[in-house]
Structure formats: structure tokens, C-alpha cells
């Protein structure tokens, strides 16, 4: 089966500019996650979707970050405006909607804000 | 919130040696997952554990779900150069949030 697909792989922008990341989960996976991974650290959850509903966005900085999963399949994560501290790898993951279903990750988008 | 302590932070071992790493949490988990991440890639699932005391192997890898449900370890036997990478533990709590929390990773270097 095809894995989680993310694009772009790399993005370099100047601060205050907008940026968007796209994710297509594994077919059949109801749950989609966006994680941020800073250098030398583990991934940290930004938002979790069950189908098209955002069920956990408590860690999403809502002043500048937004996400959508309109049809319950692919998803976009946007930052506007970007800040220097947003430089990180943004990982998308998906799973079946069961308590024990493991997460499968994409290769991430490495964002550099200059 | 939940906290995961993963140790050691880094390890340098000789090819052929065994290695062990572990994670402890401040709360009870009902799932433990172990991932490996290579440079420029996303984490790849190695082993999933779902019951306290469970011991599961995947080739040269063995992981256990601690009896207290607050810890887990991963062992790699007879290490080889391709074992190099960052290993992450992740745990899911038993509450309604079902949030998956990651450790800070163990950087493994295998010396020839």
C-alpha cells in the first residue's frame, strides 16, 4: 500500500511570509495527525483529525496556524505569518480510528524560516 | 501533561554488540510504540505493544511493555551498521484524548 505522502519536502521562506503543507494519508485511515519536530527532539502533536473533524487542536498555535481536512481525506496545514521559531520538520501521520492503531508517518516537510 | 523520559540520549557501540534503551512515563499508558527515524525521513514503526508485560520481537529487535504500564524498553541484538539512527518511544494514554506522546529519542551510532 502507498504510504503517507507529504509535499513539499523542503520549503525556505522569509519571516512574515505564509506557507502551506499538504498531506495525503494512507487510504482508509480515518485519523490524520500533524506533528512538529524540532531538531534533536521527538515529534509533538499539533492537531488530530477524525475524518473531517478536528478532535484535538489544543497544541495548535491558533493565532498563526490553521489546518483543514475538508473531505476527510487529504489535509493542509498553513502558517501565516511565519516566524523564525517555526523552522522545524512538519510531519503528517495517519492511522485507523481504533485506540490501539499505530501511526504511520510521512517523510515530512522541512521548513526553514529566514 | 504527560512526560516521557527516554534514555540514553545517545549511544556509541561496536558492530555486533547488543544495545538497550528505555522509556519511562509519568502516567499509565495502554500502548507503547517504538519507531526508528533515519535522516530526512519520517519515523518508521518498529514494534507495537498493547498489554502490560507483553514481550514482542521483530527480527533482532525485542521490546517489552512494563508491568507497571509506565515503562518500556527496546533491545537490539548483534547490531549492524544499518541500525544507525534515532530511536523514539511513544506512548498512548488510556484517557479519552488518546494522545500519542513521544520521547526525545536515542541517537544510536554503530562503529565498525
- pLDDT per position as a tens digit, A38-94: 998 999 999 999 999 999 898 999 999 999 998 889 999 999 999 999 999 999 999
State chain B's mean pLDDT as an integer.
Answer: 93
Please, is A85 exposed, middle or buried when counting C-beta atoms within 10 Å of its C-beta (0-12, 13-18, 19+)?
exposed
- With cell 509535499, the residue in question is A7
Residues of chain A found within 8 Å of residue B35, distances taken between Cβ atoms: 105
Residue % of chain B over a pLDDT of 90: 81
CA distance A44 to A108: 13
Q: How, if at all, do strands B100-102 and B29-37 pair?
A: unpaired
Residue B50 has its nearest CB partner, among A44, A100, A104, at A100
Mutate which of A41, A50, A96, A100 to disrupt the B interface (most B C-beta within 10 Å)? Answer: A100
Q: Look at residue B97 in the predicted model and tell me its pLDDT.
A: 60
pLDDT tens for each residue of B73-111: 999 999 999 999 999 999 988 765 667 899 999 999 999
CA atoms of B19 and B87, how far apart (whole Å) = 12
Q: Is A40 an interface residue toward B (CB < 8 Å)?
A: yes
**Contacts with A45 (C-beta within 8 Å, 6 or more apart), sequence order:** A33, A34, A35, A56, A59, B99, B100
Note the helical H segments in chain A: none
Asked if the Cβ–Cβ distance from A43 to B105 is below 8 Å, we say no
Residues of chain B above pLDDT 70, percent: 95
User: Which residues in chain B are closer than 8 Å to A104, comparing Cβ atoms?
Assistant: 45
Work out the pLDDT band at B2, boundaries 50, 70, 90. Answer: low
Is B96 at the interface with chain A, CB within 8 A?
A: no
Enter the C-alpha cell of residue B6: 527516554
- Of A42, A56, A104, nearest to B102 by CB-CB distance is A42
Residues A19-33 have a mean pLDDT of 96
Amino acid at each position: 500500500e502507498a504510504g503517507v505522502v507529504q509535499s513539499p519536502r523542503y520549503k525556505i521562506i522569509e519571516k512574515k511570509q505564509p506557507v502551506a503543507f499538504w498531506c495525503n494519508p494512507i487510504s482508509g485511515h480515518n485519523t490524520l495527525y500533524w506533528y512538529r519536530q524540532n531538531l534533536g527532539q521527538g515529534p509533538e502533536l499539533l492537531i488530530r483529525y477524525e475524518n473531517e473533524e478536528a478532535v484535538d487542536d489544543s497544541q495548535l498555535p491558533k493565532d498563526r496556524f490553521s489546518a483543514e481536512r475538508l473531505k476527510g481525506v487529504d489535509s493542509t496545514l498553513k502558517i501565516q505569518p511565519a516566524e523564525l521559531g517555526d523552522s522545524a520538520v512538519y510531519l503528517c501521520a495517519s492511522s485507523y480510528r481504533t485506540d490501539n492503531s499505530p501511526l504511520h508517518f510521512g517523510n515530512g516537510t522541512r521548513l526553514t524560516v529566514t | 501533561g504527560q512526560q516521557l523520559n527516554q534514555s540514553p540520549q545517545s549511544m556509541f557501540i561496536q558492530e555486533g554488540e547488543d544495545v538497550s534503551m528505555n522509556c519511562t512515563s509519568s502516567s499509565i499508558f495502554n500502548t507503547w510504540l517504538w519507531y526508528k527515524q533515519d535522516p530526512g525521513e519520517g519515523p518508521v514503526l518498529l514494534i507495537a505493544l498493547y498489554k502490560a508485560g507483553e514481550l514482542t520481537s521483530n527480527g533482532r529487535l525485542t521490546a517489552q511493555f512494563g508491568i507497571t504500564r509506565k515503562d518500556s524498553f527496546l533491545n537490539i541484538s548483534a547490531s549492524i551498521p544499518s541500525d544507525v539512527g534515532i530511536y523514539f518511544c511513544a506512548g498512548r494514554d488510556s484517557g479519552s484524548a488518546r494522545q500519542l506522546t513521544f520521547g526525545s529519542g536515542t541517537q544510536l551510532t554503530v562503529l565498525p
